[in-house]
Structure 1
Amino acid sequence: MKRFEGILIKLIMIQFVFLLFFQVFFHREDSFLELKKMAKYEGVNENNYGKVLDALTPMK
């Protein structure tokens, strides 16, 4: 069991290092701007709370 836990901890540390590396990479490169454009195109950044509330409130 100790061996499995050691392997699991190493995998978690490797995952964390890759996460940090790619976060820094995307924020420093121009590719992050393309991702921002894609998110804006998909409508993820917009506040659509009014439309959602209109859909969830019952009609009177």
Structure 2
Amino acid sequence: MKRFERILIKLIVIQFIVLLCSQLLIQQSAIKPYLSKVVQYEGVNKQTITEWLETFNQ
């Protein structure tokens, strides 16, 4: 049982680290256009950031 508990604790720690890394990645403004599917739906993936923001502000 101790072996199972150690494995479980390691998995929880790894999951927490992955969660933190993914949250930090999502918050990066340079990465957002690549993660957002709205960009594909709106058809603004070839525009500059200012044109992209103007499209969503309208």
* TM-score, with length taken from structure 2: 0.51
The answer to whether 1:9 aligns with 2:9 is: yes
Displacement of 1:33: 2.1
* Percent identical residues: 44
- Unmatched 5+ stretches in structure 2: 43-58
The corresponding residue for 1:55 is none
Could you say which structure has the larger radius of gyration?
1
Tell me the matched-pair count.
41
Q: Residues 4 and 42 of structure 1: is their aligned pair in 2 closer, same or farther, counting only changes over 3 Å? A: farther
- Unmatched 5+ stretches in structure 1: 44-60
Name which structure has the greater RCO, CA cutoff 8 Å, separation 6+: 2
The runs of 4+ residues in structure 1 deviating greater than 2 Å are none
What's the RMSD between the two structures over aligned residues?
2.1
Could you give the per-residue CA deviations for residues 14-60 of structure 1, whole angstroms, max 9, x where no partner exists?
A: 11111111211231141222211xx11358xxxxxxxxxxxxxxxxx
